[in-house]
Amino acid sequence: MNTTKLASILSIIVTVLILSGCATAPVMTPLKPPAGVPGTYHKVEKGQTLWRISKTYGVDLDEIIKFNRISDVTKIEVNQLIFIPRASGRKTVSSVSSDEDFIWPIKGKVISTFGATYDNVINKGLNIEPYYNGDVIASRGGRVVFYSDKLESFGKTLIIDHGDGLLTVYSRNSKVFVKLGDNITRGTLIAKAGKSKRGKKEYLHFEIRKNSIPQNPYYFLP
């Protein structure tokens, strides 16, 4: 990703973080597959994510979501059949995690999901309360392209560029262990989760963005 484009995307993300309280909840209108649309059905296996399925078939993730009217990815189950539009045939989707796949950035409990609202603020990712030590790791390998401790109510914030149009955002951190420009591998300890604005509990705010647009992290996480 060239420097100018990346700077533009980072500017958009930071602006959205600051102004997220003014956002309107996105509305997804499912597409009804027209008669005669070619494609195939994929049976979901344990460990597979929608992102990995879409990547293997070379079909846009949003298309798969809309064609299958997926409103809650957490309800997708093993052995469920998912229609893959315009796929020429069935493909083998790996159920084993590779370095290209995303992993959970912290061990904990999701306390606010993508699209949820609180105090008129729409969540663009997941808020995760740690089970114990609050260690935050890189969800996928990449380069640290943004760091700030000056975003009001977001604590110390990191953004990692994964080189394929995907970025991950980690905010509400109390400590950060990497610096701008660092190339890091998946699973690297990068931060420590901090307390919320009101100081009641520690949690990590985590986002996945594609070309600056917030994505539901559940589509990418195992």
Domains for the chain: give ranges and CATH numbers.
3-24+98-219 (2.70.70.10), 39-85 (3.10.350.10)
Does 214 have pLDDT greater than 90?
yes
| Amino acid 199: pLDDT | 62
pLDDT tens readout for residues 151-175:
877 889 999 999 999 999 999 999 9
Is there a contact between 158 and 21 (Cβ–Cβ < 8 Å)? no
The pLDDT, as a whole number, for residue 186 is: 97
User: Residue 175: what pLDDT?
Assistant: 95
CA–CA distance, 41 with 184 (Å, rounded to integer): 36
Residue 4: predicted pLDDT: 59
Q: Cα separation of 58 and 40, whole Å?
A: 13
Share of the chain above pLDDT 90, in %: 55
Distance between CA atoms of residues 221 and 206, nearest Å? 12
**Which pTM was predicted?**
0.77
Contacts of 61 (CB under 8 A, 6+ apart): 50, 51, 54, 215, 219
**What pLDDT score was predicted for residue 17?**
57
What one-character DSSP code corresponds to residue 31?
Answer: P
Query: What digits encode the pLDDT tens for the residues 17-37?
Result: 544 443 444 443 434 555 678
Q: Is the pLDDT of residue 197 over 70?
A: no
